[in-house]
Amino acid sequence: MTRVALLSRSANLSYFQPLLQGLAPELDVAVWPDPRSLSAEVAVCWNPPVGVYDDMPNLKLIHSIAAGVDNLLDGQRTRGLPVCRVVDPQLAQGMLQYVLWCVLTFHRKLDVALANQRSAQWQRPVQTPASQCRVGLMGLGELGRAIASVLPGLGYPVNGWSRTPRQIDGVRGYAGEAEFDAFLAHTDVLICLVPLTPATRGILNRRTFDALPAGAAVVNCGRGEHLVPADLIDALSRGQLRGAVLDVFAHEPLDPADPLWRTPGVIVTPHMATMPAPGTVAEQVVANIRRLGQGAALANAVDAARGY
């Protein structure tokens, strides 16, 4: 019998227990902080307790419940164990819908209309064609490519920036640190989708904001640690940025006292841009547990050193 530990210090993952056992009744599933978790062979995680892997001598596999694995790796020593993520085709569709809403909010000046409503002002914002709203996708992985495949057809010029060069039809590509500023200079709505790595932590900072055209907008649906909040608030107060939509935060849920809630121009959403279906997560976790038992190659394994 394989023991599985559901590990999180910020969420209750107990709802996965019946899903996993419904697919594989032979699994023994423990939910942190049940002491049985420490003897598990498989850790199924979201933001696990720091250092917990070192206390699990039988551990053979670390599995995310999401597409990202940075929260599984941050501050952790994985001891060379395999790390896997979830791949759900619906994730890309959900992110596309969310990003399209953000782009429309700034392109069609819906943020201005909502601000006018709060002060009971009937003032029609000047409308411009989509061709005058340049969208910059910072990150051209699976989610970025899905967005890039749609926005040009709606009339938006799309620029893409990635660590290494990528060729995508309809997208003007930029790559590496040497081309980052040129990418930003041609971006009116910046969408952050990059993985969280040491190189991208804090990348949404004053230098980045100042390299954008004055009056640009920022959307962060990557990871909260990409953003330096004080730099964002400063850029908004100076008028360098027009607004921002933030879906992810370094500490979730966002503290009610956090100034981002009340910063003019900021729209806060509760980490809702996209998420895998729980049933899909359970199916992929169980499939990898069975592969592990058979000595077969694991699906959706990541490079823990790179973080993706």
Q: Is 87 exposed, middle or buried (0-12, 13-18, 19+ CB in 10 A)?
A: middle
Nearest to 189 by CA among 116, 265, 243, 261: 243
| Active site annotation includes 63 | no
| List 3, 206, 271, 291, catalytic entry | 271
The tokens describing 166, both together, are 């990528």
Q: Is 259 exposed, middle or buried (0-12, 13-18, 19+ CB in 10 A)?
A: exposed
How big is the CA angle at 63 (ends 97 and 253), to the nearest 5 degrees? 55
| Active site annotation includes 271 | yes
| List 85, 163, 223, 242, catalytic entry | 223
Query: Cβ of 114: how many Cβ atoms within 10 Å?
Result: 11
Strands in 28-31's sheet, in edge-to-edge order, are 28-31, 3-7, 42-45, 61-64, 83-84
Q: Which residues are catalytic?
A: 223, 271
